[in-house]
Amino acid sequence: MQGRKWATGLAAALAALAGGGAALAAGSEIVIGDIDDLSGTYADAQGVGGIEAIKMAIADFGGTVLGKKIVLLTADHQNKPDVGASKFREWSDQSGLNMLIGGSNTGVNIAMAKVAAAKKVPLFVIGAGGASLTNEDCTAYTVHYVYDTTSLANGTASTIVKSGGKTWFYLTADYAFGSQLQNAASKVVEANGGKNLGSVRAPLASMDFSSFLLQAQGSGAAVLGLANAGADFSNSLKAANEFGITKTMKPAALLAFISDIHRLGLQTAQGLYLTTGWYWDLNDDTRAFAKRYFAKMQVEPTMDHAGAYSATLSYLTAVKAVGSADSDKVMAELKKMKINDMFAKGGYVRADGVMVHTMYVMQVKSPQESKYPWDYYKVVKQMAGEEAFGPITGACVLAPK
Amino acid sequence: MFGVPTTVILGQLMLGLVNGAFYALVSLGLAVIFGLMGVVNFAHGAFYTLGAFAALLGLQWFGVNYWGALVLAPLAVGILGVVSERLFLRHVYKLDPLYGLLLTFGLSLIVEGSLRELFGSSGRSYPVPDALQGAINMGFMILPIYRAWVILASLVICGGTWFLIERTRLGSTLRAATENAQLLQAFGVNVPLLFAATYGGGVALAALAGVLAAPVIVVSPLMGNSLVTVVFAVVVIGGMGSILGSVVSGLTLGVVEGFTKVIYPEASNIVVFVIMALVLILRPAGLFGKE
């Protein structure tokens, strides 16, 4: 009898210890992390501005949730998957991380999604576009919030094919994001009766794109699909103008941020079609956010900045609603609730992790059409979330067709 | 050739020469600094970036046009080079070359970080000057006039630098300083001044390349970063410190890289390093280096 009592006592003590450990991990703070490209080619799409947007969201929420202070950790992943994943793991193990905002770069976010699944920490992907994050690489803790390669292709590629650009050649960034974007666009082009004539894969951060562009021109295609981003996108469009390629081919930006258009200038970028999840000048709500953001950063926010703000608010709202920062409870709430703020109206998180919301096909204004600073886009088409993000593909194990 | 039509080959040859001209120009300054001072100047890419930024800011803030920038930007950056040589670099001449490398690497990080802090990472566009707008139809390709100008300008500058160092009295004094600085000083030559001027001149060449590049690529704090590694490979292949070697291998590698972009595009940013590895195995001193 005595021995049994001992055993029960020991078990109780162990349980108390384990419980104590969990309480320690939950901590007296809600810890939000942000791992992004803070210094490289994608740093202006989200980067430091993304951190500012997250801070704005935390402040707007009141700085606390469930009586706990909200703290923000930030790190630069330098576009290296191992750096992003190990930082995420470190924060989960040592800093009691509750949620991570994943910045640009699909490759890094695929690596971080694996950590999210292992550590059961929600990951809100903002700046990365690869649709594999909610297909083959999906996890129960991933939310893909702003845009993905599918919605970009459904917007830009279908608009251009329908307006007569039937034959396509792609200039593709040679990594996960570029090939996913090209594949998505190719499918949309074919589905709408167009033809894909070929592609050339340019290494990331190539010095000069003119060789690749001459190959594109040699294909005789009507449309030049730019399946790249950031400085690569700007440099290739600049060279296409310089070499007179835009006279025979219509360039299509499969991903462009307003920061890219700002750097290129309207003279070079005018007439370009692109798809975006958000634009600062859509309505009074977006303009109000943009005004506050501009006061801090002296540039208008990109869709990623608005998305980082909205994602932070959505997470905190879900935590408040369930009265707990328990990841499974929060994820269940996130997949139940509607997202209504200046970023999305009636947005919702699908079983595969896609945040379904309205996307916009835009055309870049000419210098004459632009009436005030940053007046860059006109809305060509407003796409309902279901049309933009398409049906559930079945490639994600959590979301059968 | 590999089933590629002649027009494409001619086009790629031309583009290869344009890129090669940049490589030649940037590696030239690097070769001058190494050849005459024995310093592995890792800050070269940062000075190239500074040249482009000087042109951009000169235009935005003071209305200095492209032609003015071609003179003023290298001058300003060259002075900055002289200052950093006097303040920092001269203290490490007597030490192992590794210290110079680390010092200049640190300098480049500071320059890049500051530019990023001030201007963000996405950079700005610099307009092509009016006189060089437009393109020539060469039959096999459309060659923008600006790119033709880049080839011409860089060949003239490379030729001039070679002449200055190999064929003039100033050049022979400079070369003598590398052989035996103490003896030269005993002859009454101000050697420290000579070294400062050499470093200033070398980085001014980098800045000049930056101004030439500004209208064709986005001017961003990261622009030198991607270039400098390639250019180091060019200098190693040409033979560390050989001026002729850096110019010839710069142009050749530009062309080789251009053809790689047609035959196997994915390898285009590593082909230079593959060649570097081969050269190091077969001829460690480089193609034009002295054994």
Tens digit of each residue's pLDDT (9 = 90 or more) over B62-109: 999 999 999 999 999 999 999 999 999 989 888 888 899 999 999 999
- Backbone phi, then psi, for A315, in 5-degree steps? -60, -50
Q: Say whether residue A207 is in contact with chain B using an 8 A CB cutoff.
A: yes
CA-nearest residue to A299 within chain B is B120
Cβ atoms of residues A236 and A207 within 8 Å = no
Residue A52 touches partner B, C-beta closer than 8 Å: no
* B8 chain-A contacts, CB cut-off 8 A: 214-215, 218
Find the residue in A nearest to B224 (Cα).
A207
Q: What is the pLDDT of residue A7?
A: 52
Q: Does this complex have an ipTM over 0.90?
A: no
Q: Biggest alpha carbon distance in chain A?
A: 92
Q: B119-134, pLDDT tens digit by residue?
A: 877 788 898 898 898 8
Task: With CB atoms and an 8 Å threshold, state whether B230 touches A39.
Answer: no
Distance CA A195, CA A157 (A): 12
Classified as helix, coil or strand, B122 is: coil
Q: What percent of chain A has pLDDT over 70?
A: 94
Q: What is residue A4's predicted lDDT score, i.e. its pLDDT?
A: 53
Q: What is the mean pLDDT of residues B142-148?
A: 89
Nearest CA in chain B to A174: B266
Q: Do A211 and B121 touch (CB under 8 A)?
A: no
Tell which of A242, A255, A299 to mutate to test the B interface (max B CBs under 10 Å).
A242
Task: Categorize the per-residue pLDDT at B177 as very low, low, confident or very high, splitting at 50, 70 and 90.
Answer: confident
The answer to whether B229 contacts chain A (CB < 8 Å) is: no
pLDDT at A21: 38
Looking at the complex, report in whole angstroms how far the Cα of residue A213 sits from the nearest Cα belonging to chain B.
Answer: 10
Higher pLDDT, B256 or A4: B256
Highest mean pLDDT of the ranges A217-221, A272-276, B123-127, B178-182: A272-276
Least reliable range by pLDDT among A177-191, A201-215, A331-345: A201-215
Mean pLDDT (whole number) for A48-76: 96
Model pLDDT, residue B25: 92
For B189-221, how does the pLDDT look when each residue is reduced to its tens digit (9 = 90+)?
A: 888 898 899 999 999 999 999 999 999 888 988
**Comparing A316-320, B32-36, B87-91, B272-276, which segment has the lowest mean pLDDT?**
B32-36
Is A19 a residue whose pLDDT tops 60? Answer: no
Question: Stretch A99-103: mean pLDDT, rounded?
Answer: 97
Window A:255-294, CB contacts with B under 8 Å: 259-260, 262-265, 268
Distance CA A106, CA A133 (A): 8
Tell me, rounded to whole angstroms, the distance of Cα B220 from its chain centroid: 17
User: What is the spatial distance between Cα B258 and Cα B19, in angstroms, rounded to a whole number?
Assistant: 8
- Least CB-CB distance to B19: which of A43, A208, A212? A208
Structure tokens at B4: 């590629």
pLDDT at B241: 81
Q: What is the per-residue pLDDT for A73?
A: 97
pLDDT at B291: 54
Which of B222, B226, B265 is facing A200, going by the closest CB pair? B265
The answer to whether B265 contacts A41, with C-beta atoms less than 8 Å apart, is no
Strands, E, within chain B: which ranges? 135-137, 142-144
In total, chain B counts a number of residues equal to: 291
Instruction: State in Å, rounded, how far the first CA of chain B is from the last one.
Output: 36
| pLDDT over 50 (residue A18) | no
Residue with tokens 């000579």: B194
Torsion of CA A42, A46, A51, A55, to 10 degrees: 180
pLDDT at B51 over 90: yes
The bridge status of strand A97-102 relative to strand A142-144 is: unpaired
Looking at beta carbons, which pairs linking B90-97 to residues 24 or more positions away fall under 8 Å? Answer: B90/B192, B90/B195, B90/B196, B93/B37, B93/B38, B93/B39, B93/B195, B97/B38, B97/B39, B97/B40
Asked if A243's CB is within 8 angstroms of B125's CB, the reply is: no
Contact between chains at A214 and B8 (C-beta distance less than 8 A):
yes
Q: What pLDDT does B255 receive?
A: 93
Residue B8 has pLDDT above 80, yes or no: no
Per-residue pLDDT at A16? 45
Per-residue pLDDT at A119 exceeds 80: yes
Among A239, A244, A259, beta carbon nearest to B122: A259
Picking from A44, A208, A266 by the largest number of B CB atoms within 10 A of its own CB, the best residue to mutate is A208
Sheet-wide strand order for A64-65: A64-65, A68-76, A29-36, A97-102, A123-125, A142-144
**Across A148-171, average pLDDT:** 95
A176: which 2 tokens? Answer: 């996960």
Using CB atoms and an 8 Å cut-off, which of residues 195-224 of chain B contact chain A? 216-218, 220, 222
Work out the pLDDT band at B116, boundaries 50, 70, 90.
Answer: confident
User: What is the separation, in whole angstroms, between the first and last Cα of chain A?
Assistant: 57
The answer to whether the Cβ–Cβ distance between B116 and A201 falls below 8 Å is no
0.95 exceeded by the pTM? no
Say if residues A203 and B266 touch (Cβ distance below 8 Å).
yes
Instruction: Please check the confidence at residue A334 and state whether its pLDDT lies above 90.
Output: yes
Q: Residue A216 pLDDT > 60, yes or no?
A: yes
Cα separations (Å) of A230 from A41, A258, B125, B175? 6, 10, 13, 45
pLDDT at B96: 87
- Would an 8 Å CB–CB cutoff place A107 in contact with chain B? no
Question: B181 at the A interface (CB within 8 A)?
Answer: no
Res A20 pLDDT > 50: no
Nearest-Cα distance to chain A for B58, in Å, is: 17
Question: Is residue A376 predicted with pLDDT exceeding 60?
Answer: yes
Residues A290, A38: contact at Cβ < 8 Å?
A: no
Nearest-angstrom CA–CA distance, A109 and A125: 7
Taking CB atoms and an 8 Å limit, are A231 and B122 in contact across chains?
Answer: yes
Checking DSSP bridges between strand A64-65 and strand A142-144, what pairing results, if any? unpaired
Question: Which token pair is A103?
Answer: 């910045």
Range with the poorest average pLDDT among A5-14, A255-264, B71-80, B103-112 = A5-14
CB distance from B11 to chain A under 8 Å? yes
Residue B123 at interface with chain A, using a CB cutoff of 8 Å: yes
Percent of chain A with pLDDT over 90: 82
Give me the DSSP letters along A207-249: S--HHHHHHHHHTT-SEEEEE--HHHHHHHHHHHHHTTHHHHS
User: What is the distance between the alpha carbons of residues A214 and A218, in angstroms, rounded to a whole number?
Assistant: 6
d(CA B155, CA B136): 20
Cβ separation of B226 and A235 shorter than 8 Å? no
**Minimal Cα distance from A266: which residue of B?**
B125
A27 φψ region: left (φ > 0), alpha (ψ -120 to 50), beta (else)? left
The owner of tokens 């009586």 is: A67
Which of A376-385, B217-226, B237-246, B268-277 reaches the highest mean pLDDT? A376-385
- Pairs of residues, one from chain A and one from chain B, whose beta carbons lie less than 8 Å apart: 107
Per-residue confidence (pLDDT) for residue A24, from 0 to 100 = 42
Closest CA–CA distance from residue B124 to any residue of chain A (Å): 5
Give, in order, the Cα–Cα distances in Å from B80 to each of A24, B59, B85, B98, B146.
54, 19, 9, 22, 28
Contact A352, A134 (CB under 8 A): yes
Q: Would you call A393 an interface residue with chain B, using a CB distance cutoff of 8 Å?
A: no
Chain B contact for A231 (CB, 8 A cutoff): yes
Rounded to 5 degrees, φ, ψ at B144 are -60, 140
Q: What is the mean pLDDT of chain A?
A: 91
The answer, for A238 touching chain B at a CB cutoff of 8 Å, is yes
pLDDT at A25 over 50: no
Query: What are the angstrom distances between the C-alpha of A40 and each of A77, A204, B225?
Result: 9, 12, 10
